[in-house]
Amino acid sequence: MDLSQQEKDLIRQSYAKVAAIKDQAGQLFYQRLFELEPSLREMFHRAPIETQAMKLMQVIEWVVERLDDVKSLRDELDKLGKIHADYGVKVDHYPIVGSALVWTLKKGLGSDFSPEAEEAWIELYTYLSGQMER
């Protein structure tokens, strides 16, 4: 992962604002994900979507807390990728998830989500999804 310190700071600052509305953000994410790709809904039958939204936000927080610990991130992402593959996640699902994530950040943060912060999140997500796809 090749994020600059400025990009890491933008991610941390924007996540701190999202954390204040994390329940709503998690719900918005899944709402948008299912709008973009309704067939993905069938993958989420194991638990209520509220539970899944909470888990999503916990993972995002975990990632943000470890932006400076690439080895720890890489090891955990390898595990997450395998788990998600077992759930039926395909490589072509990752761009849809990324789009839903960026949309959620824009929607949740409004004018507080700068173009620079958006680019930093896109770079972060590209790294994360690339690790999980392997």
Q: How far apart are CA 109 and CA 21, in angstroms?
A: 9
Counting Cβ atoms within 10 Å, is residue 120 exposed (0-12), middle (13-18) or buried (19+)? buried
pLDDT, tens only, 56-104: 999 999 999 999 998 889 989 999 999 999 888 999 999 999 999 999 9
Domain residue spans of the chain: 5-133
Q: Of how many residues is the chain composed?
A: 134
Whose tokens are 């953000």? That residue is 25
What pLDDT is stored for residue 1 in this prediction?
83
pLDDT of residue 41: 92
13 contacts: CB under 8 Å, gap ≥ 6: 117
pLDDT, one tens digit per residue, over 15-47 is: 999 999 999 999 999 999 999 999 999 998 888
Answer yes or no: is pLDDT of 134 > 80. Answer: no
What is the rounded distance in angstroms from the CA atom of residue 51 to the CA atom of residue 27? 10
Residue 131, token pair as written in the block: 């690790």
**Could you tell me the pTM of the whole model?**
0.92
* Domain 5-133 grouped into CATH 1.10.490.10: yes
Residue-level pLDDT at 31: 96
CA 133 – CA 84 distance, rounded (Å) = 9
